[in-house]
Amino acid sequence: MLTTLEKLNMQKGQIQARIDKLKFREKEANRKAETRRKIVAGAAFLKFISETKNEPIAHQVWSACLQRMNEKDKSLFTNEIFKRNLDNNPIKEYGNSS
């Protein structure tokens, strides 16, 4: 037969397991929300760039973004929108102006 102390320690373990499970679920939900925010913001940004590709602001913003990317990430953007030379503000490979 279990002593009162043993019973309380068992309950304590069960409660801690429930707490840990809830913390994990909360952390996972926060991670998924952060990922979704990044996807939505990225999609909005790409739409902005594609709709304003002939405007100088698009070139400036895109260039600033590319400067913050590593080469592997830059290689994801091979679409002509991002490589095209446009009017008075040429964008070369990966959008770097020279």
What distance in Å separates the CA atoms of residue 34 and residue 45, rounded to the nearest whole number? 16
**Maximum C-alpha span of the chain:** 86
Q: Do 96 and 65 meet the contact criterion of CB atoms below 8 Å apart?
A: no
If pLDDT is split at 50, 70 and 90, which confidence band does 83 have?
low
Q: Do 62 and 45 meet the contact criterion of CB atoms below 8 Å apart?
A: no
Whole-number pLDDT of residue 89: 44
Section 64-87 average pLDDT: 71
Which token pair is 12?
A: 């304590």
pLDDT surpassing 90 at residue 55: no
Whole-number pLDDT of residue 91: 43
pLDDT surpassing 90 at residue 49: no
Section 64-90 average pLDDT: 68
